[in-house]
C-alpha cells in the first residue's frame, strides 16, 4: 500500500515536471541533436535524473535552470556518443510560437555551430537574459553577448545567401 502511494506521488511529480518543463527541455535537446528521437531520450533521461536525485530548489526559476542545465549536459554527451549532427528536419511545432513564417530562421539556426545555436535558443526561445545564459553555461556574461553577436552575424550571412535577403 505504501509502495502504491509512493508510485502515485512519483507519477504526479513526473506529470507536473513534464507539463512545466517538458516542452522547453525537448526544444533545447532538439536544438543540439537535430533528431526528435534523441531529443525525447534526453527529456526522459533528464526527468529520470530529477526523480532519482530529488533536488530541492528555492524557486521555480532554479528548478527550470537545473532542468535545462542537465538537458544541455545530456545532449552534449549524446552528441559525443553518437557523433551525429544532421538528421531530422526542424518541425514546425518547434518553431517560435509555432509560426510557420519563422521556420526558415530556425532551419538557419540549426546550421550554426553548437556554441552559437545554444545561446540563440536560450536567448530567443527560452527568454533568458545573457546573464542567466552565462550562469547556465558556466561562461562569462561578455562571452555570451559576444557569442550572440557572432551568431546573429552568421545567421544574417546564411539567410542572405540561402534566402537571397537584402540588407
User: For residue 74, what pLDDT is reported?
Assistant: 92
Q: What are the average pLDDT values for consecutive 10-residue runs of the chain, which has 167 residues?
A: 74 85 90 87 90 87 90 87 49 46 72 85 84 89 91 82 60
User: For residue 101, what pLDDT is reported?
Assistant: 57
User: For residue 6, what pLDDT is reported?
Assistant: 73
User: For residue 14, what pLDDT is reported?
Assistant: 81
User: For residue 5, what pLDDT is reported?
Assistant: 72
User: For residue 91, what pLDDT is reported?
Assistant: 43
User: For residue 32, what pLDDT is reported?
Assistant: 85
Burial class (CB in 10 A: 0-12, 13-18, 19+), 75: buried
User: For residue 153, what pLDDT is reported?
Assistant: 87
Whether pTM > 0.85 for this model: the answer is no
Amino acid at each position: 500500500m505504501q509502495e502504491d502511494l509512493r508510485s502515485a506521488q512519483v507519477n504526479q511529480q513526473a506529470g507536473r515536471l513534464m507539463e512545466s518543463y517538458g516542452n522547453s527541455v525537448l526544444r533545447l535537446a532538439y536544438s543540439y541533436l537535430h533528431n526528435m528521437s534523441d531529443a525525447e531520450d534526453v527529456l526522459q533521461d533528464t526527468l529520470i535524473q530529477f526523480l532519482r536525485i530529488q533536488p530541492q530548489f528555492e524557486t521555480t526559476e532554479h528548478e527550470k535552470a537545473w532542468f535545462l542545465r542537465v538537458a544541455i549536459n545530456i545532449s552534449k554527451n549524446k552528441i559525443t556518443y553518437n557523433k551525429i549532427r544532421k538528421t531530422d528536419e526542424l518541425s514546425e511545432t518547434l518553431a517560435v510560437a509555432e509560426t510557420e513564417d519563422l521556420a526558415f530562421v530556425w532551419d538557419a539556426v540549426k546550421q550554426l555551430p553548437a556554441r552559437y545555436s545554444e545561446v540563440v535558443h536560450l536567448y530567443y526561445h527560452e527568454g533568458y537574459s545573457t546573464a542567466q545564459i552565462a550562469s547556465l553555461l558556466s561562461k562569462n556574461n561578455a562571452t555570451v553577448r559576444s557569442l550572440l553577436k557572432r551568431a546573429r552575424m552568421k545567421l544574417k550571412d546564411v539567410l542572405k545567401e540561402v534566402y537571397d535577403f537584402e540588407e
